[in-house]
Structure 1
Amino acid sequence: MNFFKRAWLNVWAKKGRSVLLILVSSAILMFVLAGLLIRSAAVKATETAKTDAGATMTLSANRQAAFKKMQSSSSSSSSKSSRPKLTLTPVKLSDAKRIAKLSNIKSYNVTSSTTANAKSYETVSTSTGMSDSSGGGPGGMKSTSSSSGDTQINGVTATALTTDFTDNQSKITKGRGIKASDQGTNNVVIEKDLASQNNLTVGDTMTIKETTGSKSTRKVKVVGIYKASSTSSVSAGPMSTDPANTIYASYTLANTIKGSKYTGTADSVTFNVTNPAKASATKKAGNKLISSKYALSTDDASYQAIKASMDSVEGFANKIVWLVAIAGTIILALIVILMIRERRFEIGVLLSLGEARWKIVAQFFTEMLMVIVVALAIAGVGGQFVGNQLGSQLVSQSTTTQTSSSRTSGQPGGSGQPGGGSGGMRGGAGGPGSTTNSTKTKNPDLEITVSAVDLAELGGFGLAITFLSIMIASGGILRLEPKKVLIS
């Protein structure tokens, strides 16, 4: 009788022991499979985050270089009246277009901000404990300086590419947003409160008054109305206006209002990176295309937060796999050792009949292999459930809410722009010359599914655990003497 047949007869005859081995093996393999599934799901979630979370790269004036230049000019100047001012160079769109041709750039958004005074409408007033500002009829409130108006104009390539709209901080409620096709037009998108206060709707025209040069008036057409999620400007300071007074337009219109010397320039250009993992390499390539007057900065905080969390989940899943595999090997080895001690007489008889020791070891391995096959099927059914439960717990513990505040100050315009024009005052909650973004990053749910690859990998672990446990326990078989076994 060959050892395959003996193994089958023994498994069938000892049903209670076989069921116990199946249950133990199923539990071990189930947790091993859960770890494998969580690990693969974490890797998949990290890959998905490359497109969902995304990353951006911003081209703007190099403030540090401009500050050093100002200091050197200041040290060489002895007259206080001729003390130099911080001068930031507007970004050339030609440079931005060269960077946009890099392989890892998906799209880009040009930003050019300025201010104007209301002429045919009233601005939304905000009262604080420090001051009380009001629209005061056509023309709005009186500006706090000769170069800043009561209406903030944010010039962009498209509103759909701005963080306010992509993060759902602002939402189009009527009409449409600004598009790339609006370049060279006077189309604008206004805030809902400003529209309600002045009975404006899509298709109406507004008149604004420039704050520099000839201070001429300009008619703009409302093509859309948006709703901002927050209209509080308490932290903005006395120099700012209510966020409802922010108008979105094409960057070409903002440049026209700022003056002819700003044609073909921008305050900053934001590039959307296709693969956040290669953001640093893309930044290095972009730096080679620009002069020292400009600087490139990357923002992949959302991707890095998700990646760090998923790396933590993946690392914990690896620990589950190896700890359960090692513990399972030890447990099965102990069970097999006890099983061998019960079958010492059977082993002695087989050895006395001339059966090779390796065949006896192979018989025990075959018995365990039959058990593992059944346990593998059970683990394949229950492993996904266990994996989902463990995965949800791990993700809930690793979910982080990251609040990032970025301040961008001294852009071309305002008091820091060349010539002291009306370019860069940033109204709203951020205060002059700054923007503050608060973003929440939530980890993606793990999509845990059992695939043929996972089952094949689990089968490999099952074979390895079985082989190691049999090898550990077979040391006693190799040392047995048939005569001593039969006499005892």
Structure 2
Amino acid sequence: MNFAKRAATSLGARRSKTAALLAIFLVICTLLLGGFLLQAAAARQEADAQRSIGVDVTVRKEGLTQALADRLGGAGPVHRYNVEIRVRADAQGFAPLTPKVPEPGGAAAGQRTTGALAFNGVRDSDMLLPFSYGSTKIVAGRGITPEDAGGDVAVIEQRLADENHLKVGDTVRVRSADGARTTTSVTVVGIFQDPTRDPTMWTPPHELPGNTVYVPTATAQKFAAGAVTVSEAVFKIGSPDGARQLHAEAERLLGKGGFEFRVNDKAYKDQVLPIQRVGTFAGLIVWVIALAGALILGLIVTLQIRERRTELGVLLAMGEKKWKLIGQHAVEVVAVALPAVALAALAGSLAGQPAGEAFLGHQDAGPVVAARAPGTGIAPPAVRVGPADVGKVAGIALGISLVSTVMPGIGILRLHPRSILTDGD
């Protein structure tokens, strides 16, 4: 009888110990697979978090032009960016809001003031802090997007819309506040709600929250007198490493030390770093389980070899080669390991998703992201059992099988039939 058939016979004759060995292997393979699945889920969720949260970098410089801001926006680490230009303009054919109290020692309330509308030229209104944090909300239509660069569109405040009975799709005329009196027709594409209340004291009309209008930067430039500079530019990048790359590019374009470079990575740290720690923990689990599994199974096989010394001695006395005895134990362990891998894969497909959500599913509940981007939190992790994961578990399981049988089997190579049969138990 060859050693493979003897291994099958031995497993059948020692059912209770075979079942115990299978249970131990199943636990080891399940934990290994769980570690790999958790690593993969953490990596996917980290990538999603970097895209949805990222790191905000604000650049300010006296004389910063949109051309320079656009060149910075084209840098490698930048996912999206926004520039902001502030100008004042006058309404034509509709009435801006006026202060409810008269100006101290000045004109009566309600008197027309030049430049009553505060025009904010932006590239991407969703990146403005009031919109990204959710304090200011679009209540009708949409915001300003990069695709609006070539069009004259506007997003107005709800109080201004209510005062003039304006709605999405209406067209209004706006003229510059300087002597040139440039007039442009803009189409209302959105209405937003600013929670800031009207001031109780006299305030210039252009500082009233209801007189704020968002338009594309090209539209704002039509109402500006002279050269237009960017008040600030905000860039969204994936990680703090990208911020260092962007700073180097800003130094190249803007000169060293001549600009303000502020990094806001609080949301990134609050949300992404915990995910990275989970991934590191999962990798540690894999190593610990692999080493502990090899040690535990090695001890079990060693004990089994000691219990079967008589069997080994008889086989050696009959002329069986020592490497075949080691091969028999290896086949026995491998024959138990492969079903354990299959059962672990089944368990992973059934319990992997709930386990992944238990570790990673609450990462989108942080107050920073909840306030920052309502409705766009980190998606729950997708835990999938793939062939690659099962293959890695099978490879480690087979490696554990070989280590746990070859190492104790070295003792067999050093023994002789007579010493095995004559030694006491």
* 1-structure distance, mates of 2:150, 2:3: 87
SS in structure 1 at match of 2:253: coil
1:95-244 matched pairs, under 5 angstroms: 95-105=68-78, 107-115=80-88, 120-121=94-95, 123=97, 136-137=109-110, 139=112, 151-159=117-125, 162=128, 164-165=130-131, 170-175=136-141, 177-178=143-144, 187-201=153-167, 202-205=169-172, 210=177, 221-228=186-193, 231-233=195-197, 241=207, 243-244=209-210
* Cα deviation, residue 358, structure 1: 2.5
User: AA paired with 1:231?
Assistant: P
Distance 1:185 1:375, change over 3 A: closer
- Deviation of 1:367 after TM superposition, in Å, equals 0.5
Q: Distance in 2 between matches of 1:94 and 1:57?
A: 18
What are the superposed Cα offsets for residues 151-190 of structure 1, whole Å, 9 maximum, x if unpaired? 4321113435545556655554445544567668764321
Matched, 1:289 2:253: yes
User: Does 358-367 or 298-307 show the bigger shift?
Assistant: 298-307
1:461 pairs, out of 392, 396, 405, with: 396
What CA deviation, in whole Å up to 9, does each residue of 1:268-291 have, x standing for no partner? Answer: 233454787534223312320223
Conserved? CA contact 2:100–2:110, under 8 Å: no
* Residue aligning to 1:395: 360
Q: Structure 1 residues 452 and 438, CA, compared in 2 at 3 Å: closer, same or farther? A: closer
Deviates more, 1:216-225 or 1:452-461: 216-225
Report the Cα distance in structure 1 between the residues aligned to 2:135 and 2:59, rounded to whole angstroms.
Answer: 23
Match of 1:452 among 373, 377, 387: 387
> % of aligned pairs identical?
27
CA contact (8 A) 2:155 2:214 kept: yes
**Take 1:235 and 1:17, find their aligned partners in 2: how far apart are those partners?**
81
- Per-residue deviation, 1:208: 7.3
One-letter code aligned to 2:310: F
**Distance (whole Å) between structure 2 residues aligned to residue 238 and residue 341 of structure 1:** 95
Partners of 1:33 and 1:193 in 2: how far apart?
57
CA gap of 1:466–1:193, structure 2 versus 1, over 3 A, is same
**Residue in 2 aligned with 1:383?**
348
* Aligned-residue offset at 1:403: 3.8
Q: Which residue of 2 aligns with 1:93?
A: 66
Instruction: Give the direction of change, closer, same or farther, for the CA distance of 1:104–1:443 in structure 2 (3 Å limit).
Output: closer
Structure 1 residue corresponding to 2:338, chosen from 373, 389, 392? 373
Q: CA deviation at 1:314?
A: 0.9
Task: Provide the C-alpha distance between the structure 1 equivalents of 2:156 and 2:265, rounded to a whole number of angstroms.
Answer: 30
The question of whether the paired residues in 2 share the 8 Å contact of 1:395 and 1:443 is answered with no
| Aligned mates of 2:368, 2:199 — CA distance in 1 | 17
1:12 matched to 2:12? The reply is yes
Q: Deviation at 1:18?
A: 1.9
Cα deviation, residue 39, structure 1: 1.0
1:259 correspondence with 2:225:
yes
TM-score by length of 2: 0.80
Determine if contact 1:124/1:193 at 8 Å carries over to the other structure. Answer: no
Letter in 1 for 2:283: N
The residue that corresponds to 1:82 in the other structure is none
1:321 pairs with 2:286: yes
Once residues 143 and 302 of structure 2 are traced to their aligned partners in structure 1, the CA distance between those partners, rounded to angstroms, is 74
In structure 1, C-alpha distance between the alignment counterparts of 2:201 and 2:12, rounded to whole Å: 84
State how far apart, in whole Å, the 1-side matches of 2:245 and 2:332 are: 55
Residue identity matched to 2:358:
Q
Residue 74 of structure 1: aligned partner: none
Structure 1's unaligned 5+ residue stretches are 62-88, 405-436
Q: How far apart, CA to CA, are the structure 2 residues paired with 1:184 and 1:138?
A: 35
1:473–1:115 Cα change, 3 Å:
same
Tell me the equivalent position of 1:40. Answer: 40
**Residue type of the alignment partner of 2:297:** L
Alignment of 1:272-421 (within 5 A): 272-273=236-237, 277-292=241-256, 293-396=258-361, 401=366, 403=368
Q: Deviations over 1:131-150 (max 9, x none)?
A: 9xxx95464xx8xxxx9x76
1:450/1:190 Cα in 2 relative to 1: closer, same or farther (>3 Å)?
A: same
Figure out how many residues of one structure are paired with residues of the other and give that number. 411
The residue identity in structure 2 corresponding to 1:365 is A
Distance, in Å, in 2 between the alignment partners of 1:90 and 1:391 is 50
Secondary structure of the residue that 2:118 maps to in structure 1? Answer: strand
- Determine if the alignment matches structure 1 residue 245 to structure 2 residue 211: yes
More divergent stretch after superposition (149-158 vs 370-379): 149-158
Partner of 2:60: 60
Partners of 2:273 and 2:26 lie apart in 1 by 32
What is the aligned-residue RMSD (CA, Å)? 3.9
Distance 1:438 1:177, change over 3 A: closer
Give the superposition deviation at 1:297: 4.3
